[in-house]
Chain A
């Protein structure tokens, strides 16, 4: 190995970070020297193996574990996204249950209606499945009237909203001979 080869081998460790004049020197030398060309290929392959350690996805839960350690020092920081979603889902569930319970209670208080629902007519395209309030009236709109008479202080638009919900009636779920509670 002559002096030029030694100088070139030394430069190879700079990889892609060689200066333009050094790059020219390397390129012109390796075009004539097979051993240095092989050494260049080896060095490039070795540097390339380091890319195997390049980041992938973080291990499961690592980000949240790190944040849990940071959050107490950060006033007013929002909760981790997954907890925020869980809180939202829980809130929606509670509201849904409350609306369902309220409607059912109103239906139960309507004289003669119990929890039974009217049979939806074929031409009734409304999404309402259970409408205990409406079912108590004998005429069109009777349900709303009945509801209004039961709740004189409540605006009609709220009663209309209450009367339309998406919970299936007990009669639709249970067979007729099943004991109801």
Chain B
């Protein structure tokens, strides 16, 4: 159920209030950034994607139905932009475990955290980066960002069953990547090439 204060902000945005949009931005910028960062593991690209997502939201907010959840709409834009970016850059296809691990930016985590923890985080991100975009998206949203399957279904525009299936597949792929196994080139049941 959308928050009444948020509905008011959206309605003010629809009437052209820049201040209301700034407030919406303040509410969501952090998570928007982190979803993009988890998906792309790049500090600058995550900022660019976040910026583009907010610009698209502002341009299209006039058509937004306040009965829907604003955040699922925003994150849908973010995830789609990330997937689009990854496909264009052939990110997951070209990614080599070692290269990706070495290129992980600090991204704002506690600078005082132990080297071991930083390395472990790097390995986790590197394994995640080997996943195809749509599996990476569900894993990011579920196991990193903690959204429910229902919320993810809204964000990725799929049914609950599809999300559950993708999660199942994504975790198996992640485990294979984590164990350092080669991800086999297979096609999934939705007809998309897995790796």
Cβ of B75 < 8 Å from any Cβ of A?
no
Per-position binary interface string of chain B over residues 1-27, scored 1 when its CB falls under 8 Å from any chain A CB and 0 otherwise: 000000000000000111101100100
Q: In the bound complex, how far is the Cα of B139 from the Cα of A94, in angstroms?
A: 54
Most chain B CB inside 10 Å of its own CB: which residue of A58, A65, A73, A76: A58
* A17-B167 in contact given A66-B51, A74-B21 (Cβ < 8 Å): yes
Given A14-B168, A47-B143, A50-B143, A58-B17 contact (CB < 8 Å):
no
Judged by a CB distance under 8 angstroms, whether A63 is at the interface is yes
Contact flags (1/0) for B123-150 with A, using CB distance below 8 Å? 0110010000000000100111110010
Cβ–Cβ < 8 Å partners of A63 in chain B:
29-30, 33
Q: What does DSSP make chain A's interface, helix, strand, loop or mixed?
A: helix
Minimum CB distance partner of B38 in chain A? A53
B91 at the interface (CB under 8 A from A): no
Q: Contact at A50–B172, with CB atoms within 8 Å? A: no
Majority secondary structure, B binding face: helix
Interface centre among B22, B30, B34 (most CB of A within 10 A): B22
Determine the distance from Cα of A70 to Cα of B175 in the docked complex, in whole angstroms. 38
Q: How far is the CA of A17 from the CA of B163 in the complex (A)?
A: 10
Residues of A within 8 Å of B183, CB to CB, are none
Given known A-B contacts A52-B117, A59-B107, A62-B47, A13 and B33 have beta carbons under 8 A apart: no
- 23 CB contacts below 8 A, A to B, read A13-B167, A15-B143, A43-B171, A46-B175, A46-B178, A50-B174, A51-B143, A52-B117, A52-B124, A53-B125, A53-B128, A56-B107, A56-B108, A57-B108, A58-B33, A66-B29, A66-B33, A70-B58, A73-B58, A74-B18, A75-B18, A77-B18, A77-B21
Residues of chain A touching chain B, judged by Cβ–Cβ distance below 8 Å, are 13-15, 17, 43, 46-47, 49-60, 62-63, 65-67, 69-70, 73-78
